[in-house]
Amino acid sequence: MLLLLALAAAQPAIQPCGVDRAALLALPEREFDQDLEGGWRALAAKRRCRRAAADLIAAYRRAHPQAGSLLRWHEGQLRAGLGEKARAIRLFASARKPDDPSWNDYVDATVAFLNRDRRALAAARARLAARPKPADWDPRDSEGRPLPISWPLNLEVVDGLVRCFGKPYEIAYSHCARPMRITH
């Protein structure tokens, strides 16, 4: 009995969600992070498996220390949705990019939302909205087709955080914001 309890405690809550943890941790980063039907996203699509998805991203980052900051961001989003505010804020802050001020405005807005700091949220939103569009801005898919992505990136998400200020992050992000969704 004690052995079973020890084994259950050692395994993250992925098993009940029906995924092969070893296979997921072996995926290349792009497949693990960006495949909408595989990687961590397939796990997170099941509401009861969101904590397992966040834990899986954390395990992936430990197994692949060179992984990009976007994995920290996505884990932070899951943690924020689970109500793990302090952990989410640390993950979001660690996903800042020194050469991308508009991304950092988005980070600042999200952290301000979680901290329930309306003034800081408004300031980050204003900075983001004021960012000039790069001269070479021409988003295209892998086939070279134009994508319907507006500038600045993530402004619609931040506007949703403003509209739903004070609501849980998962509600504000999922129902109030218009996150960029590319499906082709």
pLDDT digits 0-9 by tens, 34-58:
998 889 999 999 999 999 999 999 9
Give the tens place of pLDDT for each residue, 123-142: 999 999 999 999 999 999 88
153 vs 150: CA distance, rounded Å:
6
pLDDT level of residue 121 (50, 70, 90 thresholds): very high
What whole-number distance in Å separates Cα of residue 35 and Cα of residue 46?
15
**Tokens at 71, concatenated:** 């994995």
User: Whole-prediction pTM value?
Assistant: 0.84
Cβ(69)–Cβ(84) under 8 Å? Answer: no
In the 8-state DSSP scheme, what is residue 13? T
Q: Which of 106, 108, 74, 103 is nearest to 91 (CA)?
A: 74
Listed by start position, the domains of the chain span 13-95, 99-132+148-184
3-class secondary-structure state, position 12? coil
Q: Please state, in angstroms and rounded to a whole number, the distance separating the CA atoms of residues 59 and 75.
A: 11
Tokens of 137: 């801005």
Q: Give the bridge partners for 146, in sequence order.
A: 140
Rounded to whole angstroms, the Cα distance separating 141 from 120 reads 34
Compute the radius of gyration of the chain from its Cα atoms.
18
CB 71 within 8 A of CB 34: no
pLDDT score of 179: 61
What is the rounded average pLDDT of the residues 85-103?
A: 96
C-alpha 35: how far from its chain's center?
Answer: 14
Token code pair at residue 179:
């996150």
SS3 140: strand
